[in-house]
Structure 1
Amino acid sequence: MSSLIMAASEALKMSDASLTETETQASRTAASQSTSTPSSLAPESLPDRIRRIRVDLEELAVFYSVSVSPGRHERLRRYFSDELKALFSLDFEAMSQSDKVDFLLLRNFLRRKSHWLYAQKESNKEIQRLIPFAQLITALCEARRDVDPINNERVAQQLDDIAKLVSQVKEGIENDRIKISKTAAYKASKTVTELRGHLHEFFSFYASYDPMFDWWAAAPWKAADLALSQFIPLIQSKLAGMHEGETGDIIGEPIGREALINELEAEMIVYSPEELINLAKEQFQFCEAQMKTASVELGYGDDWKKALDSVKKHFVPPGEQAGFVKQLVREGSSFVKEHDLVTVPPLAEEVSRMTMMSPEMQKVAPFFLGGPLIMVSYPTADMSHELKKMVMRGNNRHFARATAFHEMIPGHRLQLFMSERHNSHRQLFTTPFSIEGWAMYWEYVFWDRGDFFETPEDRIGTLFWRMHRCARIIFSIKFHLGQMTPQECIDMLVDWVGHERSTAEGEVRRSFNGDYGPLYQAGYMVGAVQLFELRREILKNGHLTEKEFNDAFLRANFMPIELFRALVLDLELHPDYTPNWKFYE
């Protein structure tokens, strides 16, 4: 993937260069909005522009729904280019600080989308030999989308051709004539699943409505659908190492150093991948020293892993986890209200919900998940005895105490509640450095206060999570640099942090097999460090109180932390602004 992102970057540099010249000239010559302009004819505001673009993209995604369609890629490319040109026609200097931040957020969003669109188009070339029938399916589905007249006999022939092409590729795989990487095979399996769904929708549109369509197309469609349904598990098992009812191989797609740098720039992070790895190592050393201190208090000397093992035995008996988590959720909310650290709207507490996590989800999310509600992880009756014990140990009382407020209040629950109600147009710019950074930031704040994690067991519980976030930075970045395999990532979580092997595998599987971006795992600690350093800067200068700072962040909504710093400190911005904040020494 690295070469694809690099190719995308190079291909777009030339268009960006010519665009920048046009953008700059347009920005200089654009007239500021006249105060006498009737409100009904007033130019589009930046928040409204962002809301429109969000809805535009949703509409385009529904209409141009076939991901491998050349027409889809061309239409989106044109849209991003047109919106960038229109954005740079605005008078930046006449904008308020909030609008300038919105300008830069939208600029980064559109450029990033353009780069990834090109990269996606290039990556589709890798799987073409597995999906030679994609063009036929795309043509049928786009004709149905446009409600073009169809020739039923020709449709029947196309469906028959699809079945034959699938069979030919299937035979090539079974006879080992087709070799492809696991990553490409995994992508191909998802693409074929998507194409099968589109073909089903195509058939359903005409079936029974047009009797001659049924006469010609019913049988060849069934054959094509059956061929596709048998083709998907073959790709998954034979080429991607996936097996029904099992977890299979962990599959990921390293993007390379240049692509990581592009992503860091889009996230307004001034540091290199290697510098972030060093940050994580230094943070880990601090955690290890604190672990040893707590270990001594518990009578284990400096053998902190033995102390950690003893803490893991403090788990809740079966049937009591939900009640325990409810108590922890209330504790976190009460603590921030009692100490006047952040505003907690009563409704955010009143309508908070809880559910239990399914065994299937626990394979990729072995701990709590939160947001609108909290999902509680705990063994189920049908798990093996060994797995039950590992899951119970991995969700013990002291690990849970450092997790519940992260997931709910003042963490994810409070932030998502506020994001729906304040500057909601910025939800388009969701970033892990803001979302995960905010939740982990409270772990730093509570630790720094010294009156929340008071017992050595609780300190070990929260230090475990901080070490876990250090390891996440290291293993995720090294994986994308091509320096670590998924198995080495699992071993690191077990050996460095003290994970149960089942929970370590779930964490790595979620990191690389899911829909997380390459910097998502780094976002936890890096975002938290950014926010904690900005908090120190704000409080030292007396710019805001602690509660005012935390409320301001929530009301600003999602954005890179450097842009929030510029917003809250009213720093100078310009259309070509690039990250420059050195938040960690």
Structure 2
Amino acid sequence: MTLITFYNGLPRPEASESTLRGLIERVTEDLRDIEAFLPIKVSTRRRERIREFLTVELNSLKQYEGDFQRLNQESQVDYLLIKNYMEGELRQLDLDNKQDEKASSLIPFAAILVDLCEARAFVLPMNSKDAAQKLFEVQVEITKVIERVGKEYTTQQIEKTVAFRAARTIDALRVHLKEWYLFYKGYDPSFDCLKSISAIIRDRLVGIKAEDDGAIVGQPIGREGLLADLQAEMIPYTPEEIISIGEKEFDWCIVELKKASSCMGLNSDWRQALEKVKNDYVEAGKQTQLVKKLFHEAVAFVEKYDLVTVPCVAKNAWQMFMMSPERQRINPFFLGGDSIIVSYPTDTMDHEAKLMSMRGNNIHFARATVFHEMIPGHHLQMHVNARSKPYRRIFDSPFSVEGWALYWEFLLWDDERFEKTPENRIGMLFWRLHRCARIIFSMKFHLGQMVPQECIDLLVNAVGHERATAEGEVRRSLSGEYSPLYQIGYMVGAIQIHAMRNEVVGQGIMSERVFHDTFLNENRMPNEIMRALMLGKELSPNYKPSWRFYSDVK
């Protein structure tokens, strides 16, 4: 796809190739190889190998500093992206090391197991007697830890989150040790010992019983961790300021919900209006046809008004799948991207679970979800990203990816040409309110100001979630499957992109379609850099983020 951008009303072809593309592609593949060769995250050797690699590569970037202004814009952008990425990875190594040190008293045997597994990776000579002795030592250490967990250690001495991290590390070590065993198949290294100590730590220090597989704990990263992550995303706001943004946007949503409720003849009782909307769902088995209809409605709208380029393959070669009941516990709503994965009742669910699934994926919630997940949202985004500057996908950011999809919800809310009934508006506002709440509870959780149950209660009592979908959302947010800033990336990213659009399109630098096409074709990066690129901002090797995209926060 050839991108045409406009400057002062004149078209020009896509910018010339980046000088640093080859470097970024090599760093991406080298890192992937190192992490595959040394896959145990608690490994000191792995951490030091990655640190050494990143340090050398960062030093190699200095060759571009003297002639930085001679680089074309694409090269300058790539310089800043790869530099920021590697610096962020180094900070993360330090934070992970601190967290692992806190958990070390519960896993004193970890180093022995890591050495065994990594000796296999280095193809060192296998001494069966030596290996057996090491496994015996591990079993002894496990026995000692189990005794201490039962007698000395309490939740006052060891935080639940630290114990949870230790249990997850043990689970990972068990997987790696099994791979080691299957490679040699000489004797039984007693995997059950690792399984039992993990269960005991979860039971006695974390408070998770063996049968309670739905418990939510999470691992708060603290203010220091949040600041490091915000720095990596080039967002010059503090955690407290981000929470303030979420609260202000939450209040705006409540005002708009009351307006839509009044249009439904329910005065300002938006909760009653929300209940009415939730009960407007299709019967089981009909959701796929609804999704298909909504997909074509969204595509027709963006093409009719020339809002974004939609390649033929993107709109004609997409697939739909149904989500399993097990996965719906973590993802109670749709997922999308290459395909759309639909959450809706299956014959294995009980009546209450079926009803919650249908209410949580009603017609009006689904209408916003489909164009978020497919076109013009994630499906279109992933289609273009795979074909335009794909080497930049290493700079993946929820503020760019999830922000893009929610940004379209903003845009279609504002666009009066996109027909919306009051019920549709309630559905759109529910999601917007939900994303505001995500900012509040995820940031406060990582700051130690909220626990998982309080997060669930916020979604149920303040947003109007079903209890089951609220639990799924919190489990998804805090389980460790997503990065700590992932959930704030939706709303904050959408605000960034919306503010960027108002500047770029508002100043006549690009048409609306060209703005959207440029955002997709330039691929993934912090939105601060995307804005600098589109506005032609002067860049420097030591560029620092300064964009205050939300003026109401001081």
Tell me if TM exceeds 0.5.
yes
Return the offset for 1:153: 1.8
Distance 1:424 1:175, change over 3 A: same
Aligned identity (percent) is 47
Question: Which residue does the alignment assign to 1:540?
Answer: 506
Question: Which residue does the alignment assign to 2:327?
Answer: 361
Distance 1:333 1:482, change over 3 A: same
Tell me whether 1:140 sits opposite 2:116 in the alignment: yes
Structure 2-normalised TM-score? 0.92
Question: Which residue does the alignment assign to 1:56?
Answer: 30
Deviations 1:294-346 (A, max 9, x none): 11111111111111111111011011111211211222122111211101111
SS in 2 for 1:355: strand
Distance in 2 (CA, whole Å) between partners of 1:370 and 1:376 is 9
Q: Is there any run of 5+ residues in structure 1 with no aligned partner, and where?
A: 1-42, 208-213
Distance in 2 (CA, whole Å) between partners of 1:242 and 1:405 is 38
Question: Which residue does the alignment assign to 1:200?
Answer: 178
Distance 1:366 1:145, change over 3 A: same
CA contact (8 A) 2:261 2:267 kept: yes
CA contact (8 A) 1:406 1:440 kept: yes
Distance in 2 (CA, whole Å) between partners of 1:418 and 1:257 is 36
Distance 1:262 1:158, change over 3 A: closer
Deviations 1:453-486 (A, max 9, x none): 4210001100111111111111111222222222
Which of 491, 513, 516 in structure 2 is aligned with 1:550? 516
Return the offset for 1:55: 0.5
Structure 1-normalised TM-score? 0.87
SS in 2 for 1:472: helix
Tell me whether 1:122 sits opposite 2:88 in the alignment: no
Distance in 1 (CA, whole Å) between partners of 2:506 and 2:209 is 56
Distance in 1 (CA, whole Å) between partners of 2:367 and 2:18 is 47
Distance 1:274 1:139, change over 3 A: closer
Which of 64, 72, 82 in structure 1 is aligned with 2:56? 82
Question: Which residue does the alignment assign to 2:7?
Answer: none
Question: Which residue does the alignment assign to 2:219?
Answer: 253
Question: Which residue does the alignment assign to 1:151?
Answer: 127
Q: Pick which of 153-162 and 238-247 moved more.
A: 238-247
What is the letter of the counterpart of residue 84 of structure 1? Answer: L
Distance 1:203 1:402, change over 3 A: same
Return the offset for 1:177: 4.2
What is the letter of the counterpart of residue 63 of structure 2? Answer: S
CA contact (8 A) 2:257 2:426 kept: yes
Question: Which residue does the alignment assign to 1:13?
Answer: none
Once the two structures are superposed, the pairs formed by residues 151-550 of structure 1 within 5 Å of their partners are: 151-175=127-151, 177=153, 179=155, 180-207=158-185, 214=186, 218=187, 221-222=188-189, 224-244=190-210, 246-550=212-516
SS in 1 for 2:308: coil
Distance in 2 (CA, whole Å) between partners of 1:244 and 1:337 is 53
Distance in 1 (CA, whole Å) between partners of 2:203 and 2:346 is 28
CA contact (8 A) 1:264 1:270 kept: yes
Return the offset for 1:265: 2.2
Distance 1:297 1:538, change over 3 A: same
Question: Which residue does the alignment assign to 1:11?
Answer: none
CA contact (8 A) 2:279 2:362 kept: yes
Deviations 1:411-436 (A, max 9, x none): 01110111111011110000010001
RCO comparison, higher one (Cα < 8 Å, 6+): 2
Tell me whether 1:569 sits opposite 2:543 in the alignment: no
Q: Pick which of 237-246 and 338-347 moved more.
A: 237-246
CA contact (8 A) 1:453 1:459 kept: no
Distance 1:481 1:127, change over 3 A: closer
Deviations 1:230-278 (A, max 9, x none): 3333333333333455444321222223332232222121222222222
What is the letter of the counterpart of residue 361 of structure 2? Answer: N
Distance in 1 (CA, whole Å) between partners of 2:374 and 2:278 is 23
Question: Which residue does the alignment assign to 1:107?
Answer: 83
Tell me whether 1:47 sits opposite 2:21 in the alignment: yes
Return the offset for 1:284: 2.1
Question: Which residue does the alignment assign to 2:10?
Answer: none
Return the offset for 1:348: 1.1
Distance in 1 (CA, whole Å) between partners of 2:176 and 2:255 is 56
Distance 1:275 1:448, change over 3 A: same
Distance 1:321 1:245, change over 3 A: farther
Q: Is there any run of 5+ residues in structure 2 with no aligned partner, and where?
A: 1-16
Distance in 2 (CA, whole Å) between partners of 1:340 and 1:501 is 40
Distance 1:575 1:515, change over 3 A: same
Return the offset for 1:554: 0.2
Distance in 2 (CA, whole Å) between partners of 1:65 and 1:304 is 50
CA contact (8 A) 2:344 2:357 kept: yes
Return the offset for 1:203: 2.3
Distance in 1 (CA, whole Å) between partners of 2:179 and 2:202 is 23
CA contact (8 A) 1:186 1:251 kept: yes
CA contact (8 A) 1:260 1:273 kept: yes
Q: Pick which of 320-329 and 176-185 moved more.
A: 176-185
Aligned residues: 531
**Superposition RMSD in Å:** 1.8
Return the offset for 1:122: 1.9
Return the offset for 1:143: 1.8
Deviations 1:466-520 (A, max 9, x none): 1111111111112222222222211111122111111111111111113222211
Deviations 1:110-142 (A, max 9, x none): 111101111112211122222222122122222
Distance 1:500 1:382, change over 3 A: same
Return the offset for 1:535: 1.1
Distance in 2 (CA, whole Å) between partners of 1:178 and 1:276 is 34
Q: Pick which of 567-576 and 147-156 moved more.
A: 147-156
SS in 1 for 2:139: helix
Question: Which residue does the alignment assign to 1:22?
Answer: none
Distance in 2 (CA, whole Å) between partners of 1:129 and 1:110 is 30
Question: Which residue does the alignment assign to 2:39?
Answer: 65
Return the offset for 1:544: 0.8
